[in-house]
Amino acid sequence: MITLDDFLTQGEAVSALIADVRAGRSAHAIALTGMPGVGKRTLARLLACAFLCVGEGKKPCMQCKGCKRVLSGSHPDLLTPSASEKERSVKVDHLREIIHALSLHATEGGSRVVLLNNAERMTPQAQNALLKSLEEPDESTRFILTASGDAGLLPTVRSRCRVVRVPPWPRERIERELIAQGASKENARELSVLSGGSLGLALSMQGDSDFLKLRQLCEGTFFSLRSARDVPEASAKLKDKRDDADEILSVVEQRVREYLLFSMQAGPEPVPAAETRSHESWLAARPRALENVLAAVIDAHRYRASNVAWQAIEEQLLYIISEEILLWQPS
C-alpha cells in the first residue's frame, strides 16, 4: 500500500506540504492539481488520514480507528459530495449534506475534513456555495480539493487554497512500486514505459492484462514496421481487433504525440517498449512527418465513427506510417 512517506520524493512542493500537515501548520484549504493518474486522490485521502488520525507518533499511523475509517470511507467527520465518480458535474444538490454538516460541530469533537475530488467538475454554483466556508474557516475544518488542471476552479476558490501541483512519477519509482505489488521485473519495466508517469495508469494496466496486451499489440505493429512490406503482416495482427479499435487508436495517438513533442524538443525522449522495432525511425522522424501521422490517426478515429471497415482503416494507417516514418533502407 502507498503511504504518505512515498509522496515525500514527489518534489519539494509536495514534501513541504506533507511536513506542514504533520506539524499541524497547514493551510485550511489545499488544492492538489496535476495530470490524471499521478496520485492526487490517493494523496488527498492520506492527508485526510493525517488530519483525522488519533494514533500516536508520526501521522497518519494507518492503524488507529481514525485512519481506518478514513480508508474505508466511513469516517463521520470526512465529508465528501454525494455525486458518484462517473457524474460529469458536481452540483449544489450534491453538496447539501456537507453544507448542512458544516453548520454543526464535528461529531467526534476533533477536526473534520471536506474532501472534494475532481473539484474542476463542480459547477460555479456549487463552488460559490462552498466559498463562504472557505472564506470564514472554522478552526477545526480542513478542505482538500483535487483537480486535473485547475482551469475549472473559480479564481475566488483557487485563491483561498494552497495549490500544490503533484508531478508525474519518475519511471524507476513506478517500476519499484509495481515490483512491490508483485509484477515481474520485465513487466514492471514495460508498464512503467507505457504509463507515461502515471502510477494510477500503471497499476490499472497491471490489473488489466487485456489492456496491457493491447498496448503491446500497438507497439508490435504500428511502431515496429521496417518497410512497407511489413504492412500486410501487421495488418493481419490487427484485423480481428475491431472491438478494441477505438482503444487502439487512442494508444497510437498518445504515442505519436510523445514522438512529436520530442521531435519539437518539447518533450522527453520516448522510451521504447520491449515489442517496439522501429523506435529509431520514429525518433529520427521530422515534426512534419509526425504531424501527418497524427492527422491520419485522427482521421482514422473519424472513419471509425462513420462505420468504415476497421481492416481498411488500420491498413491505411500502417501504409501512411510506413511512408512518413521509415528511413530509407536498402532492400
The DSSP result for 64-105, as a single string, is SHHHHHHHHT--TTEE--S--TT-S-B-HHHHHHHHHHHTS-
Q: Which residue lies nearer to Zn ion by CB, 67 or 174?
A: 67
Min dist CB 63 to Zn ion, Å, is 6
- Sequence-distant (6+) residues with CB within 8 A of 14 are 7, 8, 43, 164, 166, 167
* Cα→Cα distances 113→87, 142, 216, Å: 22, 5, 42
Min dist CB 141 to Zn ion, Å, is 19
Min dist CB 39 to Zn ion, Å, is 20
CB hemisphere CA count around 322 (13 angstroms): 19
Nearest to 282 by CA among 296, 267, 263, 268: 263
Q: Which residue lies nearer to Zn ion by CB, 82 or 107?
A: 107
Q: Which residue lies nearer to Zn ion by CB, 5 or 280?
A: 5
For the segment 214-243, give every residue that binds Zn ion (CB under 5 A).
Answer: none
Helix (H) / strand (E) element for 165: namely strand 162-165
Contact status: 71 vs Zn ion (CB under 5 A): no
Q: Which residue lies nearer to Zn ion by CB, 26 or 276?
A: 26
Q: What track of x and - describes contact with Zn ion for positions 40 through 69 (by CB under 5 A)?
A: -------------x-x----xx--x--x--
Min dist CB 19 to Zn ion, Å, is 18
* Bridging pattern class, strands 112-116 and 78-79: parallel
Min dist CB 58 to Zn ion, Å, is 10
Q: Which residue lies nearer to Zn ion by CB, 62 or 154?
A: 62
Min dist CB 3 to Zn ion, Å, is 12
* Binding footprint of Zn ion on the chain (CB under 5 A): 53, 55, 60-61, 64, 67
